[in-house]
Amino acid sequence: MTDPILEARGLAKTYSSGGVDVLALRGVDVALAPGEFVAVMGPSGCGKSTLLSLLGGMGRPTAGEVLLAGVRVDQLSETRLALLRRRSIGYVFQFFNLVPTLTVAENVELPVLLAGGSRGQARARREELLALVGIERRDAASPAQLSGGEQQRVAIARALAHRPAVLLADEPTGNLDSASARQVVDVLRHGRGEGQALLLVTHDARVAAAADRVLTMRDGLMVDETRVTPPREVPSLLELEV
């Protein structure tokens, strides 16, 4: 395996809720190679989303470490973490989380501008991505005017906009119908050719089947790892669907 772009070692997270400590993660190891697509599965509350947020630098682990391109990032300041996210990490949320006061176009352009791109570069990238996700004609719309599937595609376009090395997706198809889910997974896999790693949390076995590896979590622990047959040799289940 090539050097991982993203790695977690002995990752643990304890939440305190009503004076009671809840162990969300209990020492998880995970590594993600450039261009790799890894799916994480497991029952609700097993720690999948917590793992994703820690890997994305949106929370601090209670123990363990997170390395991005070999550099430890879990101890960085909030500001350094923000700079890291805008350069190297794209995040897709289950509930889309588009900024409601921005148009579709502005939601997609924002990460490019944040990463230091010019307005021209942001516009060009937005046009490219909205065409990719098939909603280029809705660029002036408000997020509230879009369907759930359309919103999720915009959210993916936003996550891809600044060409992050790692794309993290938290149940991106959880609120979508089958057709929309298929489109969303296809788009998420789009950046693999550029070496973009994808870590996707899902409950949907059909979505997980499109991954290179499937990790299974239970009670804050990684309990199983399954390598999926390379999709170039066997068409994915999604591709087999009518």
Partner 1 sequence: MLVTFLRIALAGIRGRALAALLTALLAAVTAAVLTLALGLRSVADEPWDRTFRETNGAHLIALGGPEVARLARLPGVVEAAPPVPGSFTSFALAGQRFALNALATGPEPPRVERPAVTSGRWLTAADEIVLEQSFAAALGIRPGDAVDAAASSGRIRLRVVGVAAIASGAPYPDHQPGIGFVARDALVAIQPDSERWIWSQAVRLSEPARADELAGRARQSFRPESRVVVESWFERRSEAGDRSRTTTIVLTAYSALLLVAGVLVLVNLVGGRAVTRHREIGLLKAVGFTPRLVALLFLVEQLLLGLAGAGAGVAGGAVLLPLVAGDSAALLASTPATVTGAHVALSIAAVCTLMAVATVLPTIRGARLGVVHALAAGRSRRSAGAASRSIPLGRPLPLTLGLKEALGRSSRTLIAALALTVTVAALVAGLTFETTTRNEANIDAGALAAISRPGDRAAPGAADQLAPGHPDPIAVPGMSARLRPIVHSLNAVLVLIAAINLLAIVVLTVRERTRDLAVLKAIGLTPAQLGRSVHAAQTVAVAAASALGIPLGLALFLGVYAIVNGDTDRTAIPPWWALAATPLLLAAAVWAITLAPARRASQLDVTTALSRE
Q: Given the rule CB under 8 A, which residues bind partner 1?
A: 49-50, 53, 56, 58-59, 78-79, 82-83, 85-87, 91, 93, 95, 97-103, 106, 109-111, 113-115, 119, 140, 142-145, 158-159, 162
Shortest distance (Å) from residue 69 CB to partner 1: 17
Shortest distance (Å) from residue 85 CB to partner 1: 5
What does 21-77 look like in DSSP terms, one character per residue?
EEEEEEEEEEEE-TT-EEEEE--TTSSHHHHHHHHTTSS--SEEEEEETTEE-TTS-
Shortest distance (Å) from residue 68 CB to partner 1: 14
In whole angstroms, what separates CA 185 from the centre of its chain?
11
Q: Which is nearer to partner 1, 37 or 93 (CB)?
A: 93
CA distances from residue 23 to 12, 13, 53, 136 in whole angstroms, order as listed:
8, 6, 15, 44
Shortest distance (Å) from residue 88 CB to partner 1: 10
Shortest distance (Å) from residue 53 CB to partner 1: 4
Q: Which is nearer to partner 1, 98 or 208 (CB)?
A: 98
Structure tokens at 48: 């999948």
Helices (H) and strands (E) in the chain, counts: 8, 10
Q: Which is nearer to partner 1, 203 or 206 (CB)?
A: 203
For residue 4, the 8-state DSSP code is: P
Q: Which is nearer to partner 1, 109 or 212 (CB)?
A: 109
Helix axes 148-160, 119-133, angle to 10 degrees: 140
Q: Which is nearer to partner 1, 69 or 82 (CB)?
A: 82
